[in-house]
């Protein structure tokens, strides 16, 4: 666990040359109309993004959306074809990686196997000519931050994946960067350890107060750790917001399907909702619905917003008859797969619910008007290809 208190000088954010406070922009990141191409392929397309000092921001999206390319441009490993990148308010497009006030933690850690933990952490300081006496102090501080002081003389092969990850973080922090870049750093860990490290990383970031830019394809990971999330698709940001906003008010069908889960229907918008291709009638009352009457639409309802009953509800709309074709257990939640006609719907229900249908039962599945999302059908090809969203 991260210690409840850190040494007073464990992460000194004062100006190392002048001793005074740093500028207000320390820890800030800006991308202005940044484009990166590989031949004819556009990896990042005119991206604009501002990261606040001390913020934990995640770049989230599927493989190939441009999130890792964006991180590599911030680190200096890739150069944009056009646009501006500013770190701490300074243009850095033509500044090499080792001169930027950033450090990167990679998924596979890249620790030197022949070096001890302490030697791995000290490597960057020694390369930069830091005095030997200062190296020892700063390595001790960095290892203390991540609770690895007792393992300072071990080699990477003698440690678990979680311990190696802590060492990689310590090595990145020892240079006291204003921005820490993390490229899927938890991807190699098993689920339980990954969840533990999510908590520890967020606590560490909060206590140090430095900027984290975190790349992941795991939406649960991004939701649990981030102050804000930039959801990316095809090289651009589809939506940027805090976890609650992107979950409760997704700006597009892609975001609605990628953050959490949704059941989608294709159909046509009506004056007060939509009619799906299978005949399901939707009454929608969310304030952001703006698909014009008569246009192709995607109707969506989250699994946890659906209710299963053995008797037909009184409502005339937002209801389908179905058969329970699958039941899965997820701790305190039960996941039902119910088949309505030629399609399957996912329904999530608390284990404590008194209404627990059995496999093969005939049920009625209903939802409220305020739980219906209506989107333009322009992303139908993207979201309908997702598992369990058909």
Summarised one tens digit per residue, pLDDT across range 178-187 is 999 999 888 7
Q: Is 360 left (phi over 0), alpha (psi -120 to 50) or beta?
A: left
Spans of the chain below 70 pLDDT: 1-23, 385-390
Q: Are 214 and 58 in contact (CB under 8 A)?
A: yes
Query: 60 pairs with which residues across the strands?
Result: 216, 231
- pLDDT tens per residue, range 317-365: 999 999 999 999 998 999 999 999 889 999 999 988 888 999 999 999 9
- pLDDT tens per residue, range 241-263: 999 999 999 999 999 999 989 99
> What sign has the CA pseudo-torsion 303, 307, 309, 313?
negative
| Distance, CA of 55 to CA of 257 (rounded, Å) | 26
Residue-range domains of the chain with CATH: 29-248 (3.40.50.300), 263-383 (2.40.50.140)
| Distance, CA of 49 to CA of 28 (rounded, Å) | 11
Measuring CA to CA, which residue among 46, 70, 65 is closest to residue 179? 70
Diameter over CA atoms, the chain:
77
Q: What is the DSSP string of 181-198?
A: EEESTTTTS-HHHHHHHH
Alpha-carbon Rg of the chain, whole angstroms? 25
> How far is the CA of 341 from the CAs of 47, 222, 345, 372, in angstroms?
43, 35, 10, 20
**Helix (H) or strand (E) run with residue 272 in it:** none
Q: What is the pLDDT of residue 5?
A: 36
Q: What is the pLDDT of residue 168?
A: 87
Q: What is the pLDDT of residue 18?
A: 38
> Could you tell me where the DSSP H helices lie in 209-309?
219-225, 243-248, 253-258
Q: What is the pLDDT of residue 386?
A: 52
Tokens of 162: 């979680």
Mean pLDDT of the chain: 87
- Residue 50: how many other CB atoms lie within 10 Å: 13
Q: What is the pTM of this model?
A: 0.85
């Amino acid at each position: 666990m991260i210690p409840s208190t850190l040494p007073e000088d464990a992460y000194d954010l004062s100006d190392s040359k002048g001793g005074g406070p740093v500028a207000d922009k320390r820890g800030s990141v800006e991308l202005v109309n940044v484009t990166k191409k590989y031949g004819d392929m556009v990896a990042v397309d005119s991206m604009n993004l501002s990261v606040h000092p001390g913020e934990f921001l995640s770049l989230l999206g599927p493989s190939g959306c441009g999130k890792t390319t964006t991180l590599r441009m911030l680190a200096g490993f890739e150069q944009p074809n056009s646009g501006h990148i500013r770190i701490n308010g300074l243009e850095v497009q033509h500044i090499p990686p080792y001169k930027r006030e950033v450090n990167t933690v990679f998924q596979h850690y890249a620790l030197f196997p022949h070096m001890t933990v302490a030697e791995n952490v000290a490597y960057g300081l020694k390369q930069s000519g830091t005095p030997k006496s200062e190296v020892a102090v700063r390595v001790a501080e960095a290892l203390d931050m991540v609770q690895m002081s007792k393992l300072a003389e071990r080699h990477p092969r003698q440690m678990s994946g979680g311990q190696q990850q802590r060492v990689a973080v310590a090595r990145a922090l020892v240079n006291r960067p204003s921005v820490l870049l993390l490229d899927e750093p938890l991807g190699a860990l098993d689920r339980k350890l990954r969840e533990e490290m999510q908590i520890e990383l967020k606590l560490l970031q909060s206590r140090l107060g430095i900027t984290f830019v975190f790349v992941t394809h795991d939406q649960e990971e991004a939701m649990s750790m981030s102050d804000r999330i930039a959801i990316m698709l095809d090289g651009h940001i589809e939506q940027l917001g805090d976890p609650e906003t992107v979950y409760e008010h997704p700006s597009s069908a892609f975001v609605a399907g990628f953050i959490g889960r949704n059941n989608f229907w294709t159909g046509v918008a009506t004056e007060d909702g939509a009619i799906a291709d299978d005949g399901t009638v939707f009454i929608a009352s969310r304030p952001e619905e703006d698909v014009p009457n008569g246009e192709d639409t995607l109707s969506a309802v989250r699994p946890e917003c659906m209710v299963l009953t053995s008797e037909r509800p009184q409502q005339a709309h937002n209801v389908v008859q179905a058969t329970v074709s699958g039941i899965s257990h997820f701790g305190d939640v039960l996941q039902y797969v119910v088949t309505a006609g030629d399609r399957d719907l996912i329904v999530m229900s608390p284990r404590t619910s008194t209404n627990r249908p059995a496999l093969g039962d005939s049920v009625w599945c209903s939802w409220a008007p305020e739980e219906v999302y209506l989107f333009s059908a322009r992303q139908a090809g993207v979201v309908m290809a997702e598992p369990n969203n058909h």
